[in-house]
Amino acid sequence: MSDLIKKDETAAEHAKCMLNRRQFLMYTGTTAAAVSTISLNLFPGEAQAKARVVGYPRQHIGKLSQLKENAPLDFNYPDKGQNSQCFVVKMDGAKAGGGIGPQRDVVAFSYLCTHQGGFMNGKYQAVGEHRVLGQCPLHLSTYDLTRHGIIVSGQAYQSIPQVLLELDGDDIYAVGVMGLLFGRNENLMESQES
């Protein structure tokens, strides 16, 4: 192999023909997108994408004035089916992604870990400036509630589903879910669909 590389070639010159991990991912992602676009355009009228838009029920879950700082209020959403246990919490002035209220610190999330569905009821924590849900009793996953419930440690590989909230005067309404509830193929049960 040494005779393939010129003796006077520097490491910088040699690196010009090599791809780093970032370049590889960018090139393969671009190529995959181009191939997908081409395959859809080869047969016009044949491939039709169908998007299914599901409307979520608007459900009253409480009053802003009745929430206590860092004390979760439990509710079920988007239905009364399995794995619909959720909570809403006022996070003591900690501004959050998707937060409502004057301080943008009222958020709602599912209680079920996205890894294997461990129940995290009673696992909300306010430590200093951090507001987290976890650790999951199964594999210790922990989620940052100020950043849309992203995973910060543990075995989970996706964010905890966030319940989208709407404030109407003093009334808090759940109006949707961002993310898939654990153990479901879709968030609404068959009996709820029209």
The per-residue pLDDT for range 12-33, each reduced to its tens digit, is: 555 555 556 666 566 555 544 4
Residues 108-147 pLDDT 10s: 999 999 999 999 999 999 999 999 999 999 999 999 999 9
pLDDT digits (tens, 9 = 90+) for 110-120: 999 999 999 99
For residue range 150-160, list pLDDT tens digits in order. 999 999 989 99
Q: What percentage of residues in the chain have a pLDDT greater than 70? A: 70
Of 150, 122, 161, residue with least CA distance to 141: 150
- Written as six digits, the tokens of 138 are 């199964």
Length of the chain: 194
Coil vs helix vs strand at 131: strand
Tell me which DSSP letter residue 123 carries. Answer: -
Superfamily of domain 59-183: Rieske [2Fe-2S] iron-sulphur domain (2.102.10.10)
- The set of catalytic residues is 115, 139
Taking the C-alpha atoms of residue 107 and residue 95, their distance in angstroms, rounded to an integer, is 10
Distance between CA 92 and CA 69 in Å, rounded?
5
Q: 189 Cβ partners below 8 Å, 6+ apart? A: 79, 81
